[in-house]
Structure 1
Amino acid sequence: MTISGLGPHGERAAPPERVALLADDIAAARVGRFRVAIVLHTMTSDWAKQQIAGIMATFGDCETAVIEVVDCGFAPEAQVAALDRLRGEKPDAIISIPVANSTVADAHRRVSQAGIRLLLLDNVPTGLLPGSDYVALISADNFGLGTIAAAFLAKRLANGAAVGVLSYHAEFFATNEREIAFNKWMLTNRPDICLHVRKFDSIQSAGTDALALLERHDDIAGFFVVWDTPAMEVVKALERAGLYLLVTTVDLGREAAINLASDGMICGIGAQQPYLQGVTVAQTCVLALLGKQTPNWVALPGLAVSSDNVVESFQKVWRKQAPREVLVSAKLVKGHSPS
C-alpha cells in the first residue's frame, strides 16, 4: 500500500490491516453489547450510503448496536445540535464526519470530554488532538486522489493549456488535500499549465461557478472538481452552455461512472473505497471500545479509474454490478459484446 499524503498532524498513515479484528475481538465485542451513534455530513451521496453499509456490516458481526444515524445536510449548526443531543443518549462511541473545522470543534470536544469515544471520518476540527480529543481519523489517501486526477487530466491537455480548479469553500481536510495535491502535481509535472482556482459554496452552485470562471478565463480547457457530485453539476452546466471540456474528479458515483464510460466530459477519476472505509472505522471503533491501542490515522489508497477499467472499479468500490449504462458503453452486455 502506498499512501502519499500525511495526516492532519503530520502523521504517517497506518494501513487498514492494522485494525483488523481477530475472532477474540469479535467475541469480546458481542459480550460488551456496545452502542454507537453515527453523525454524517449527508446521507444522499453514494459514498455515504456505502460508508454506512460497511459500518453496519462490521457492527452487525460484532453485535454492536447503531442507535442513530444523523444526516447533517452539510450544516455545521445541525451537526453541533446533533452531537450535543447525542451526548445525552450516552452511547459508547460516536462516529462523525465533521462538516467544518472551527465551527464544530467544541461540540466534538464535548463528546470526548463526556467519556464517549469519538472517531472521525475524513476531517479533524481545528485544535482537536488524537488520543485526548478523538481516538483516530479514518480517511482515504486524499493527497493521492488529487494526484490521480491531475495525471488523468494532464495527459489530455495541450502544451500551455489552462485548467479551472473548483475547490470547496469550507475548511475541510479531505478536499483541501485533494486540491493541494492536484496543484502540486501540475506545477511539478506540467509547469506549462496555468491553474485558475475558484471555491464553490454548495454542490448546487458548482456549475454556475465553473461558468463564471470560464467568463474570466476563456482559455480554460479542463476542470478539476474536488468530488464527483459537484463535478457532475459542472458537466451539466457545460452541456447547457454547449461546451465540451475535460473534467477530472474524485469519487466513483453512479452519474460520474456513466459519464466516464460513455466518453463524456469526465476523463478520469480518483476513487475512494467507502465500503472498506466504513469497515475500517467500525473495526477501529470496536478495538478502542475494547481498550486496545489504535493508530492515530488509518488511510486507504485510492483507485485510478479510466474508461478502460470503470466496470471492474465500480464493482470493487460499490460491491455490486455496474449500472447497465456503464456495461453498455463498455460493450459487456448481450448485444454489445466485444468483437
Structure 2
Amino acid sequence: MTRADAATSSSAAGLGPHGERAAGPELAALTQSVREEARSHAFEVALLLHTRASDWSRRQIAGIEASLAEAGAKISDIIDCEFSPSAQVAAIDRLIAARPDAVIAIPVGGTVVTDAFRRLATSGVRLILLDNVPSGLLPESDYASAVSCDNFRLGQIAAELLSPHVPPGGRVCVAAYSVDFFATAQREIGFDKWMRCERPDIRLAHLKFETPARAVEVIATYLEKEPEPDGVFIVWDEPAVAALPVLSACKRPPAMTTVDLGAAAAAALGEGRILCGVAAQNPFRQGAVAAAAAILVLTGRSVPSWIVVPALTATPRNASAVYREVSGAETLFTSSPVA
C-alpha cells in the first residue's frame, strides 16, 4: 500500500458500470513468471485515447509504457481522438486492420461508439478499457477489463473539500461534461449526493459543456446571470484551470474544487487562492495497472472486469507530495501479485 492509499478508503465508494464491486489494483500485478512468458511473445499494444494533450494522458501513457516494458511488450501506436467519437470510430476500423495484440482505450462517447468497439472485440484484438464503458458493451464478451479511479469517491472528495468554504445557504455551481461518459457522470453524482446528505442548505446549479474548450464560455455566461457564487466544482482540471481567470474577475471570487492534479492545477492549488482542493486520480498507476491487465489477458489469465485505483486528496498543504505520486514517483505495486 502506498502512502496515498493509506489515506483513502480500503474499498471503492462507487460500483462499476454493470454494478460490479471493485477489485483492487494488486489483482493485476505481474509475477516474474508471467513477465518471462510475455517476453517470449513480444506483444504489441495500441493506445486509443481521448486526448494526448493533458498531463493526465501523458502520465497514463508513461505508466502503460513502463508496465509493458517489464513484460517485453511495446506500444505499437498512440491515437489521439481529440474528444471526437467519429474520429474514434474511424481509428477503431484502422486498428482492426492493423491487428495489434491488444488495445487499451478510453471511449469518448456512449452508444455512438459501442458498435465500433464491439467490432474490435470480435476481430480477436483483446480490449482493456479506461474509465468509460459505453452502454451495451459487456465484460468478457466485449472487453476483458475496465480500469478506473474511484470516480464516485472523487466527487465526494471534491464536495468535502469545497464545503468549508461555502457559508450556510450558499450557492455552488457544478460544471459537468455533457457527453455520456461514465467516469465524469460518477463524479457529478458523488458530488451531488454528498452535498445533499451533508450540506442540504447549499443550493446547487448545474451547467454542461460538450468540450473542454467550451467550459469557460459556459461558466462565463452563467456568471453574467448569477454573479458571485460561493463555490464552483468542475469535473476535471483542464477546464477548471482554464476557468480561473474568469473566476478571478468576480468581485468576490468563489472557492473551487476539481478532479485531477496536472501541473497547472498543482501550481494553482499551491497558491491557495481560488482552487482550494483537488480530488486526484493516479494516472501513472492506472496506466500501469491497465497494461498489466492486458499482459495477463494475453498470456491466458483472467482479470477482474472492474479494477479501481484509489482516489487521492490534495490540498494546498500536501499538493507537492500528491503531485509527485500521481507523476509516477511512488511504487506501483506493493501487495503480493497473483500467479
TM range (shorter): over 0.9
Q: Which residue of 2 aligns with 1:139?
A: 148
**Aligned-residue offset at 1:84:** 0.4
| Amino acid paired to 2:115 | D
- Mapped pair 1:46 → 2:55: yes
- Mapped pair 1:10 → 2:19: yes
Q: Which residue of 2 aligns with 1:308?
A: 317
**Aligned-residue offset at 1:242:** 5.5
1:140-289 equivalences in 2 (<5 Å): 140-218=149-227, 220-240=229-249, 244-289=253-298
CA contact (8 A) 2:259 2:280 kept: yes
| Amino acid paired to 1:156 | H
Q: Percent identity of the aligned residues?
A: 44
| Amino acid paired to 2:264 | E
Structure 1 Cα separation of the partners of residues 151 and 103 of structure 2: 23
CA contact (8 A) 1:207 1:238 kept: no
Change beyond 3 A, Cα 1:179–1:152: same
| Amino acid paired to 1:318 | S
- Mapped pair 1:92 → 2:101: yes
**Aligned-residue offset at 1:215:** 2.9
Identify the structure with bigger relative contact order (alpha carbons < 8 Å, sequence gap 6+).
2
CA contact (8 A) 2:285 2:328 kept: no
Q: Which residue of 2 aligns with 1:62?
A: 71
**Aligned-residue offset at 1:198:** 0.7
Structure 2: any 5+ residue segments left out of the alignment?
1-9, 331-339
CA contact (8 A) 1:208 1:237 kept: no
Q: Which residue of 2 aligns with 1:23?
A: 32
Structure 1 Cα separation of the partners of residues 178 and 304 of structure 2: 29
Per the normalisation by structure 2, the TM-score is 0.92
CA contact (8 A) 1:223 1:245 kept: yes
- Tell me how large the CA RMSD over aligned residues is: 1.3
Q: Which residue of 2 aligns with 1:337?
A: none
Q: Deviations over 1:252-299 (max 9, x none)?
A: 011111111112210000000000001000000000001101100000
**Aligned-residue offset at 1:306:** 0.4
Give the 4+ runs in structure 1 shifted more than 4 A. 240-243
- Count of residues paired in the alignment: 321
**Aligned-residue offset at 1:82:** 0.6
Structure 2 Cα separation of the partners of residues 96 and 195 of structure 1: 33
**Aligned-residue offset at 1:240:** 4.3
